[in-house]
């Protein structure tokens, strides 16, 4: 059997890396990614709530649409209350579907991260030309509405193709969130130069915890707080970056929102020790303190 190595980056243990600090002489950077998504009606694609039912399926589509109509607005209010920023992982189909919602995040100054057109599709399996066109369409839509192109990318379904990183670098992207393999940013190789991987949470993420593993809202809140507390302690030895990922239609449900308030209360109480930021600002700062080596 041929044993294939990952071509994007080499193994490097967490010890012995370059030392640096985040802005404000802080050692832990924290960002919250809020996924704002739109799904094709009647297609049966995207994250299912009631798998196996025929489509159109009002229960399945309506569950996810709740996030755009209610959940995201409640989360916006919660983050305003605690004065914390958000990285909005945006399906650009939302610009047409719920433009006033995206305008509300824009007014807050939240970062818009490209998250494909819709989570009813992914690029893994597309031709190179089709994926290149998809990235170009998404980039142009964000540039048109936000006045500048996005710096970061997260593939729909966290499912990039073998060429996604190459195409992102060629399209001018600075970082990706597709690789949940480290607690610090990692430089990746592409055919046209380096691309930064910013830490993204696979487990402190409401999709695997709540939907796939049937975790409770209390358990998800406990997980996020324990992750924060442990990484805050670990960051005394070296700088770290912590991400928490939520979806408008999952944590945006009132009973989960109630539990998630406890998370924000806990982390906001450490403002003196933690840099609360966005994934894009993490990438921008890291580029300045740990520049890539020629690839």
> H or E element: which one contains 40?
none
Rounded to whole angstroms, how far apart are CA atoms 241 and 239?
7
Nearest to 89, CA basis, from 171, 151, 25:
151
Q: Does residue 64 sit within a domain? A: yes
Q: Does residue 14 sit within a domain? A: no
Asked if 59 and 139 count as a contact pair (C-beta separation under 8 A), the reply is no
Cis ω before 56 (30° cut-off from 0): yes
**Number of structural domains found in the chain:** 1
Asked if the model's pLDDT at residue 269 lies above 80, the reply is yes
Asked if 199 and 242 count as a contact pair (C-beta separation under 8 A), the reply is yes
> pTM (2 decimals)?
0.96
Q: Does residue 16 sit within a domain? A: no
Asked if 88 and 112 count as a contact pair (C-beta separation under 8 A), the reply is yes
Q: Tens of pLDDT along 50-82? A: 777 777 788 889 999 999 999 999 999 999 999
Q: Does residue 12 sit within a domain? A: no
Q: Does residue 15 sit within a domain? A: no
Q: Tens of pLDDT along 229-252? A: 999 999 999 999 999 999 999 999
Q: Does residue 32 sit within a domain? A: yes
Q: Tens of pLDDT along 109-165? A: 999 999 999 999 988 989 999 999 999 999 999 999 999 999 999 999 899 999 999
Q: Does residue 224 sit within a domain? A: yes
Torsion of CA 260, 264, 265, 267, to 10 degrees: 130
In terms of residue numbers, what domain contains 34? 23-289
Could you tell me the CATH number of the domain that includes residue 200?
Answer: 3.20.20.370
- The pLDDT of residue 53 is 76
Q: Tens of pLDDT along 182-234? A: 999 999 999 999 999 999 999 999 999 999 899 999 999 999 999 999 999 99
- The pLDDT of residue 295 is 46
- The pLDDT of residue 294 is 52
Q: Does residue 28 sit within a domain? A: yes
């Amino acid at each position: 059997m041929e044993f294939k190595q990952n071509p994007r980056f080499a193994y490097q243990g967490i010890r012995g890396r370059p030392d640096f600090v985040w802005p404000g002489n802080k050692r832990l950077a924290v960002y919250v990614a809020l996924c704002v998504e739109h799904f094709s009606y009647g297609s049966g694609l995207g994250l299912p709530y009631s798998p196996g039912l025929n489509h159109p399926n009002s229960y399945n589509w309506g569950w996810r649409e709740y996030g755009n109509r209610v959940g995201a607005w409640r989360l916006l209010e919660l983050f305003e209350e605690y004065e914390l920023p958000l990285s909005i992982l945006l399906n650009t189909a939302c610009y047409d579907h719920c433009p006033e919602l995206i305008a509300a995040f824009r007014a807050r100054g939240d970062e818009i991260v490209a998250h494909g057109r819709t989570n009813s599709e992914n690029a893994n399996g597309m031709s190179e030309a089709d994926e290149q066109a998809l990235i170009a369409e998404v980039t142009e839509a964000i540039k048109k509405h936000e006045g500048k192109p996005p710096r970061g990318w997260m593939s729909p379904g966290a499912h990039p193709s073998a060429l996604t990183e190459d195409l992102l670098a060629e399209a001018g992207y600075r970082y990706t969130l597709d690789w949940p393999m480290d607690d610090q940013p990692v430089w990746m190789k592409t055919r046209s130069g380096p691309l930064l991987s910013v830490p993204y949470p696979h487990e402190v993420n409401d999709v695997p915890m709540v939907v796939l593993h049937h975790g409770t809202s209390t358990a998800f809140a406990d997980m996020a707080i324990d992750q924060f507390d442990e990484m805050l302690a670990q960051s005394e030895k070296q700088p770290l970056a912590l991400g928490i990922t939520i979806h408008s239609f999952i944590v945006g449900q009132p009973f989960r929102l109630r539990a998630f308030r406890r998370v924000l209360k806990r982390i906001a109480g450490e403002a003196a020790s933690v840099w609360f930021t966005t994934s894009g600002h993490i990438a921008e700062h890291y580029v300045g303190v740990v520049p890539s080596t020629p690839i």
